[in-house]
Amino acid sequence: MASKLLSSLCSNQTINRQYGNVTVQWSHNEQEIIQYVGKGIADLALVKENVMLAFAAETTYRYQTVAQYKDYSTYLISLKEKPKLTKQYLWGKRLGLLDYPSSRSGHIVPKGLLNELGISEANMDIVYVNSHEALRDLLATGSVDIISSFWKDKDAERFSANYITPIKTKVSGSKWYLKMETQNTDLICEIQNTLSTLSTNTQSDYYRQLELVPYHCPLPKNSNEVLEYES
């Protein structure tokens, strides 16, 4: 996705006119995210809202939300039984999580559940991996008893929807933030156009569900209409 975004931005006339060059940095590393967003280095960033709030980046560096992905739920997913959100059930279970502390569904929410239930990590066999797909592979091979993740329609091909239990609903999706030091309408509209095209062409069910924040974007010349993207 990062590669396709880079190609689209570099071929955009408005971007070429306003920027000398474009670079894309894709990372799950917490320190790199802090460097790029927490210090206002990134002009455009796809990050979780809690990261922006932690560093007050919206007010400090004038980041504005231009697009966002849908809210989702976090589930405990098992292979052969419906998980229970109780201390008795979870105690001693082999749990698959993401080795990514800012991931809500794969790290923050399940660890919050363990804390609420008074379960120490020492009483759990936790296996950390680097992606949600890797979590699913752990579960499918029986390497763990349960995983914490989101649920997508395609998961029904490997697992049973009867064996998932919601931990938390309405987890806010990641957002695209654009640094706006001036009311640069052309830039906002071209970024939204690019992100919209990118979402249409992606193979990911989640990243296809992009919602654009409403802005009045002028149509090309020879048109008297004004286009307003609806979220």
Residue 174 dihedral angles phi and psi, to the nearest 5°: -65, 155
Contact present, 212 and 230 (Cβ < 8 Å)? yes
Q: Tokens for 57? A: 């980046």
Q: Which pLDDT value is given to residue 48?
A: 83
Helices assigned H by DSSP within the chain? 2-10, 13-18, 30-33, 49-55, 57-60, 87-90, 109-117, 132-140, 185-201
**For tokens 């996705």, what's the residue?**
1
- Could you tell me if 167 and 113 are in contact, meaning their C-beta atoms sit under 8 angstroms apart? yes
State pLDDT tens for residues 189-210. Answer: 999 999 999 998 887 777 888 9
Task: Assess contact for 73 and 168: CB atoms under 8 A.
Answer: yes
pLDDT tens digit sequence for 54-74: 878 888 888 999 999 888 899
Contact 147, 135 (CB under 8 A): yes
pLDDT of residue 220: 46
Q: Are 22 and 195 in contact (CB under 8 A)?
A: no
Across the chain, which has 231 residues, the per-10-residue mean pLDDT values are: 90 91 82 82 88 82 91 93 96 93 87 94 92 95 96 92 93 89 88 91 81 74 41 34
φ, ψ dihedrals at 168, nearest 5°:
-150, 135
Inter-axis angle of helices 2-10 and 185-201, to 10 degrees? 140
Give the pLDDT confidence score for residue 55 in this predicted structure: 79
pLDDT for 107 equals 92
* Structural domains of the chain, with CATH: 2-69+173-228 (3.40.190), 72-171 (3.40.190.10)
- Phi–psi pair at 210, nearest 5 degrees: -95, 135
User: Measured at the alpha carbon of residue 26, what is the angle toward residues 20 and 30, in degrees to the nearest 5?
Assistant: 120
DSSP 100-146: -TT-IIIIIHHHHHHHHHT--GGGSEEEEESSHHHHHHHHHTTS-SE
pLDDT of residue 218: 61
**pLDDT value for 223:** 35
